[in-house]
């Protein structure tokens, strides 16, 4: 295992969970010893590996446009199952996005689990069942499972992954074919229930109460592994103009601004509803898939302690009344 | 894989001044001969350094092989810059995007408020010579100075039932009433068995839709054009989301049958 990872480190940029002070963060790493193999959920996600906070789409001077695609070989190592779910969503959302796809061609995705962490319950899995066949519905190149006896089991999820394993003399692995986003048994009932709870809830008092305390700072969407809203912005340089794609947040004031300075999402209540609606209604409608992987990172960073799981439960309860 | 963020170069072949703050650019695209669009669709036009914005095509689809027209009112940094383009200049566009208006199978009522006439003029041009349907136009504008497509309006007034209402002053060149667009709906008998296309400022929609519903127009026969902030044009960036759909990809034209299922459009 150590040799495998050291081989990967030799000619790739590798991002992996790393213990820093009391928390685990996804960071670029240089040696095997830095990697945290406890399966503790990192405070940040792997999002920026696949969708950088800022990327240049093209440079322009006069009539000429120069398009630059990312080409550095990258490995997302030891991705937990929840971040793999978010990545699987991105694979579908950015299916036809040439910048994402070119980057993806140069990226290996290596999932990892050491079994469920003891405190897994604290993440209040309010929609995702940790099923036996969970890997069939995730996209990855390689997945590594650490068993209780300390042994590692390898899985491949793509031809690319198989090749990488073979090249590194890992011969004993099982291949798992991606079986689509929706399990054979149908959409997860909790996905349907959550959608129902949010869809027609705009007049629920909850949104007014949250709007009273929410600072609309947008930290939740920055840290969220499934938030992918972006802006296209022009950045004039001395020798031309760069068009950049940058992360944004539906909580930021410019998000819905149109001519005449009108903003559809002017009130915090509408921003909150828009954020939940995207995760629990729009994404399930488009892809029959999770828009929220219940990692609870938004709750962990929220300065006023807005708890997405508790809010979902309350909306569901109010809806039954 | 197509790069959705790459521009095509377009040549400005003619500029028509519609009013002191609005120009119509006649553009010839690099692939003009193969270019096709539906009335109601739009393109993204940009100037590097100023960003880009969605603008509805205002010319007739029949002319798509020769040129397209973009009618632009200078209200922001980019649109004001676009007003400085002259014949011979280069413009940067990509598209077309959006769903466009559905095919017209019944009588047609066009309700336009101000700039809202821009996408509707393409619908009008596409249907004006049909003998199998009647066309009625209800148009509201702040004052005469802000009118668009005067020549086309004069022709339309002779051929079809065009009703103009101005908010501030009366017109010297057109028969017009004074008031708001909803006053036209009160005063005029609407064509029966008609599809209604409405385009105008958002503030106009609740009043117009309420009135149309009162007049027993079915929600499925009312189509509204929505305006939202837009970045990507292909339904990813989320700025223009409306319910579970996107203005850029599934719109900008939505039937009221769909919109009325969303809390923000229940008039």
Least confident stretch, B18-27, B74-83, B167-176, B229-238:
B167-176
B102 assigned to some structural domain: no
Task: Write out the residues of chain B at the interface with chain A, using a CB-CB cutoff of 8 A.
Answer: 1-7, 9, 48-52, 75-76, 79, 90, 202, 227-229, 231-232, 234, 236-239, 241, 243-244, 263-264
What would the pLDDT profile of A40-73 be if each residue is shown by its tens digit? 899 999 999 999 999 999 999 888 899 988 778 9
Local confidence band at A320 (pLDDT 50, 70, 90 cut-offs): confident
How far apart are the CA of B65 and the nearest CA of chain A, in angstroms?
A: 23
Using the 3D structure, point to which of B40, B71, B97 is the last residue of a domain.
B97
How far apart are the CA of B97 and the nearest CA of chain A, in angstroms?
A: 15
What CATH code is carried by the domain that includes residue B63? 2.40.30.10
Q: In this structure, are B20 and B151 located in the same domain?
A: no
Using the 3D structure, point to which of B74, B97, B120 is the last residue of a domain.
B97
CA distance A307 to A126: 12
Parent domain of B81:
8-97
Tokens at residue B137, please? 């136009």
Checking if the pLDDT of A116 tops 80, the result is: no
The reply to whether residue A262 touches residue B202, judged by beta carbons under 8 angstroms, is yes
Q: In this structure, are B134 and B246 located in the same domain?
A: yes
Which residues, other chains included, contact A55 with Cβ-Cβ below 8 Å and sequence gap of 6+? A70, A99, A244, A245
3-class DSSP assignment, residue A175:
strand
Checking if the pLDDT of B192 tops 50, the result is: yes
Tokens at residue B155, please? 């022709």
Q: What is the pLDDT of residue A197?
A: 94
On average, the pLDDT of chain A sits at: 90
What would the pLDDT profile of B240-254 be if each residue is shown by its tens digit? 999 999 999 999 999
Checking if the pLDDT of B255 tops 90, the result is: yes
Q: In this structure, are B86 and B113 located in the same domain?
A: no
Size of interface A-B (CB pairs under 8 A): 83
Residue ranges of E strands in A201-252 = 230-237, 240-247
A20: nearest Cα among A40, A47, A50: A40
B197 assigned to some structural domain: yes
Helix axes A205-213, A308-320, angle to 10 degrees: 160
Which residues, other chains included, contact A67 with Cβ-Cβ below 8 Å and sequence gap of 6+? A57, A58, B3, B6
Of chain B, the percentage scoring pLDDT greater than 90 comes to 89
Checking if the pLDDT of A133 tops 80, the result is: no
CA distance A39 to A116: 8
Asked if A145 and A153 count as a contact pair (C-beta separation under 8 A), the reply is yes
B246 assigned to some structural domain: yes
- Tell me the chain A residues in contact with residue B7 when contact means C-beta distances shorter than 8 Å: 65
Using the 3D structure, point to which of B55, B77, B97 is the last residue of a domain.
B97
Q: In this structure, are B211 and B145 located in the same domain?
A: yes
Q: What is the pLDDT of residue A117?
A: 55
Q: What is the pLDDT of residue A126?
A: 47
B182 assigned to some structural domain: yes
pTM: 0.92
B30 assigned to some structural domain: yes
Nearest Cβ partner of B244 from A97, A200, A282? A282
CA distance A3 to A158: 21
Least confident stretch, A183-187, A222-226, B214-218:
A183-187
Residue A51 CA from chain centroid, whole number: 9
Q: What is the pLDDT of residue A79?
A: 95
Nearest Cβ partner of B6 from A58, A256, A264? A58
Q: Do the bridges between strand B90-97 and strand B42-47 make them parallel or antiparallel, or are there none, so unpaired? A: antiparallel
CA distance B207 to A70: 50
Q: In this structure, are B163 and B132 located in the same domain?
A: yes
Q: In this structure, are B160 and B239 located in the same domain?
A: yes
CA distance B213 to A299: 44
Q: In this structure, are B73 and B116 located in the same domain?
A: no
Local confidence band at A115 (pLDDT 50, 70, 90 cut-offs): confident
B53 assigned to some structural domain: yes
Of chain B, the percentage scoring pLDDT greater than 70 comes to 100
Q: In this structure, are B140 and B13 located in the same domain?
A: no
Q: In this structure, are B51 and B140 located in the same domain?
A: no
What CATH code is carried by the domain that includes residue B116? 3.40.50.80
Q: What is the pLDDT of residue A128?
A: 47
B2 assigned to some structural domain: no
B235 assigned to some structural domain: yes
What ipTM describes this predicted complex? 0.90
Mean pLDDT value across residues A242-270: 92
Local confidence band at B94 (pLDDT 50, 70, 90 cut-offs): very high
The reply to whether residue B3 touches residue A67, judged by beta carbons under 8 angstroms, is yes
Q: In this structure, are B257 and B196 located in the same domain?
A: yes
Q: In this structure, are B177 and B50 located in the same domain?
A: no
How far apart are the CA of B62 and the nearest CA of chain A, in angstroms?
A: 29
Q: Do the bridges between strand A64-66 and strand A74-79 make them parallel or antiparallel, or are there none, so unpaired? A: unpaired
Structural domain count of chain B: 2
Mean pLDDT value across residues A201-217: 96
Which residues, other chains included, contact A230 with Cβ-Cβ below 8 Å and sequence gap of 6+? A51, A245, A246, A247, A248, B231, B232, B236, B237
- Tell me the chain A residues in contact with residue B6 when contact means C-beta distances shorter than 8 Å: 58, 65, 67
- Tell me the chain B residues in contact with residue A93 when contact means C-beta distances shorter than 8 Å: 236
Q: In this structure, are B227 and B148 located in the same domain?
A: yes
Checking if the pLDDT of A125 tops 70, the result is: no
Local confidence band at A21 (pLDDT 50, 70, 90 cut-offs): confident
């Amino acid at each position: 295992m150590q040799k495998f990872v050291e081989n990967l480190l030799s000619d790739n940029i590798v991002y992996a969970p790393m213990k820093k002070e009391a928390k685990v963060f996804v960071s670029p790493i240089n040696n095997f010893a830095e990697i945290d193999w406890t399966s503790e959920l990192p405070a940040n996600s792997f999002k920026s590996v696949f969708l950088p906070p800022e990327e240049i789409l093209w440079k322009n001077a006069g009539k000429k446009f120069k398009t630059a695609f990312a080409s550095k070989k990258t490995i997302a190592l030891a991705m937990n199952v929840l971040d793999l779910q978010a990545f699987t969503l991105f694979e579908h959302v950015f299916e036809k996005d040439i910048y994402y796809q070119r980057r993806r061609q140069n990226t290996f995705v290596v999932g990892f689990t050491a079994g469920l962490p003891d405190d897994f319950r604290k993440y209040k899995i309010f929609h995702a069942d940790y099923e036996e066949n969970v890997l069939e519905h995730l996209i990855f190149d390689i997945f590594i499972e650490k068993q209780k006896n300390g042994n590692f089991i390898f899985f491949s999820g793509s031809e690319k992954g198989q090749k990488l394993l073979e090249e590194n003399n890992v011969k004993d692995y099982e291949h798992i074919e991606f079986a689509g986003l929706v399990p054979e048994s149908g959409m997860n009932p909790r996905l349907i229930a959550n959608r129902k709870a949010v869809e027609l809830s705009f007049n629920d008092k909850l949104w007014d109460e949250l709007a009273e305390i929410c600072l609309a700072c947008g930290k939740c969407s920055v840290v969220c592994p499934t938030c992918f809203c972006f802006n296209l912005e022009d950045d004039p340089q001395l020798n031309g103009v760069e068009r950049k794609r940058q992360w944004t947040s539906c909580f930021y004031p410019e998000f819905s601004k149109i001519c005449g300075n009108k903003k559809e999402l002017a009130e915090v209540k509408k921003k909150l509803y828009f954020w939940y609606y995207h995760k629990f209604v729009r994404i399930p409608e488009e892809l029959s898939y999770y828009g929220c992987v219940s990692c609870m990172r938004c709750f962990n960073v929220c300065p006023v302690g807005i708890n997405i799981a508790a809010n979902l439960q309350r909306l569901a309860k109010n809806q039954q009344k | 894989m197509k790069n959705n963020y790459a521009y095509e170069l377009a040549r400005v072949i003619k500029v028509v001044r519609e009013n002191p703050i609005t120009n119509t650019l006649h553009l010839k695209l690099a692939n003009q001969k193969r270019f096709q669009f539906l009335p109601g669709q739009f393109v993204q036009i940009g100037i590097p350094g100023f960003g880009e914005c969605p603008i509805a095509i205002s010319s007739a689809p029949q002319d798509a092989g020769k040129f397209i027209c973009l009618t632009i009112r200078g209200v922001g940094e980019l649109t004001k810059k676009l007003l400085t383009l002259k014949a011979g200049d280069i413009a940067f566009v990509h598209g077309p995007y959006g769903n466009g208006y559905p095919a017209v199978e019944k009588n047609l009522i066009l309700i336009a408020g101000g700039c809202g006439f821009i996408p509707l003029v393409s619908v009008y041009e596409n249907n004006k010579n049909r003998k199998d349907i009647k066309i009625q136009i209800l148009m509201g504008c702040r004052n005469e100075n802000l009118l668009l497509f005067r020549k086309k309006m004069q022709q339309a007034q002779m051929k079809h039932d065009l009703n103009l209402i101005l908010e501030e002053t009366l017109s010297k060149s057109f028969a017009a009433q004074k008031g708001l667009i909803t006053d036209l709906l009160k005063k005029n008998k609407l064509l029966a068995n008609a599809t209604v296309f409405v385009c105008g400022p958002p503030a106009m929609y609740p009043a117009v839709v309420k009135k149309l519903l009162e007049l027993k127009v079915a929600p499925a026969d009312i189509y509204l054009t929505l305006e939202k902030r837009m970045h990507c044009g292909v339904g990813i960036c989320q700025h223009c989301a409306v319910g579970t759909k996107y203005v850029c990809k599934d719109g900008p034209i939505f039937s009221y049958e769909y919109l009325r299922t969303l809390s923000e459009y229940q008039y």
